[in-house]
Structure 1
Amino acid sequence: MGINYSVEADPDTTAKGMLRDRPISLKHSKAISRAIKGMPVADAEEYLEAVIDGERSVPFKQHNSGVGHRSDIEGWDAGRYPEKASKAFLELLENVRNNATEQGFDGPAMEIKHIAAHKVGERPGRKPRAFGRADPWNTP
């Protein structure tokens, strides 16, 4: 069974990468995806490093109820510093850059044309019950 991407791309001009089943917030992933789409890979990596250091914030254009205003965002007010999701996206960008270099492209100069965040299935677990018992929770 192969890997399915959400968009078909020309293999002669594109490099691909994918993160799967990471325990990161879908809402943070969507905001980061929206922020780095259209950037060159090198600029996106620099941006995410600044987000992790708390120097630049990610604009939250959706799911922004109760999100504080940030002065460093151009044209928007609500923003946060999603550190855990930013680290995961840095791993993804490193993977894509290496794939591009392996295919003969200039990895850091490549532009991010398509990026998508998808919901991950919930993990099975155990639910504590009375008298020291535990039942399976979220199992098929």
Structure 2
Amino acid sequence: MVRYSLDPENPTKSCKARGSNLRVHFKNTRETAQAIKGMHIRKATKFLKDVTLKKQCVPFRRYNGGVGRCAQAKQWDWTQGRWPKKSADFLLHMLKNAESNAELKGLDVDSLVIEHIQVNKAPKMRRRTYRAHGRINPYMSSPCHIEMILTEKEQIVPKPEEELAQKKKFNKQPQMPYNIDVPIRSSGLRPDRAIFGYWLFQAIPRHVELQGS
């Protein structure tokens, strides 16, 4: 069995799924996989179903030679996009497989997030096509390998209000006054030094007697 290119940080809270030598275009599948990377499993499933119905598009960011522009790509801050139906169907089947693996391990399916997804090139399959004047040209297919790792998303527990209020109370620092009614120029000091001296005088407790007073 071929190992995965990435090991999950917490194997007990993760599930895996992979497919090898899948008869689906590598370039289309790679772009579709990048679109759902980091998504919640329910959101990714809905997105792939919308791609098959042409309600949402897949942005083509790397392999976009000759790819036309579409208005649906604006939500991805991109201009070029397509609807690779076969790639979406394959990824839907893999998500369903990963969901079954998560249920077998006793994980919470509703909190799964696609932490890692990778598409690699598989060995090309060779065929031939016959052309005019007795020529023969290659007629290749570009299959791919797909692997994905889904992880339970940790729920962030908010801090209690008492702890936040106590933290704000101890972090309170004296602020330097900006509106100072002190004749700075008549004192003969530089303005920055005069302001610092006034702030230092205000910071001294009232019950402490100054020397020479």
Under TM normalisation by the shorter chain, which class is it?
0.7 to 0.9
- After TM superposition, give the deviation of residue 3 of structure 1 in Å: 3.4
Partner of residue 155, structure 2: none
Alpha-carbon offset, residue 124 of structure 1: 5.2
Aligned 1:69-84 pairs, distance under 5 A: 69-73=69-73, 74=75, 75-84=77-86
1:103 corresponds to: 105
Judge conservation of contact 1:28–1:82 (CA < 8 Å) in 2: yes
Corresponding position: 1:56 with 2:56: yes
Show CA shifts across 1:36-91 (max 9, x none).
00101111011000001111100000111211112122200100000011100000
- How far did residue 117 of structure 1 move? 0.1
Instruction: Give the Å deviation of 1:93.
Output: 0.3
Deviation at 1:126, TM superposition (A): 7.0
Change in Cα spacing, 1:125 to 1:76, as seen in structure 2 (3 Å) is closer
Change in CA separation of 1:110 and 1:24 when aligned onto 2, cut-off 3 Å: same
Identity in percent: 29
Relative to the length of structure 1, the TM-score reads 0.84
Distance 1:108 1:99 in 2: 13
Unmatched 5+ residue regions in structure 2? Answer: 131-139, 141-213
Q: Secondary structure at the match of 1:69?
A: coil
Aligned-partner residue type, residue 4 of structure 1: R
The alignment's C-alpha RMSD in Å is: 1.8
Aligned position for 1:8: 7
- Judged with a 3 Å threshold, the aligned counterparts in structure 2 of structure 1 residues 125 and 63 are, in CA distance, closer, same or farther, namely closer
Task: Tell me which amino acid in the other structure corresponds to 1:104.
Answer: G
Q: Of Structure 1 and Structure 2, which has the larger fraction of its residues in helix?
A: 2
Cα separation, partners in 2 of 1:64 and 1:127, compared to 1, 3 Å: closer
Which residue pairs with 1:92 in the alignment?
Answer: 94
Report the residue type matching 1:26 in the other structure: F
In structure 1, distance between residues paired with 2:105 and 2:2: 18
Q: 2: distance between equivalents of 1:67 and 1:124?
A: 25
Higher strand share: 2
Relative to the length of structure 2, the TM-score reads 0.56
What is the aligned length?
128
Residues 1:81 and 1:126: Cα distance change in structure 2 (over 3 Å):
closer
Which residue of 2 is the match for residue 132 of structure 1?
Answer: none
CA 1:104/1:78 → structure 2, altered by over 3 Å: closer, same or farther?
Answer: same
| Runs of 5+ consecutive residues of structure 1 not aligned to the other structure | 129-137
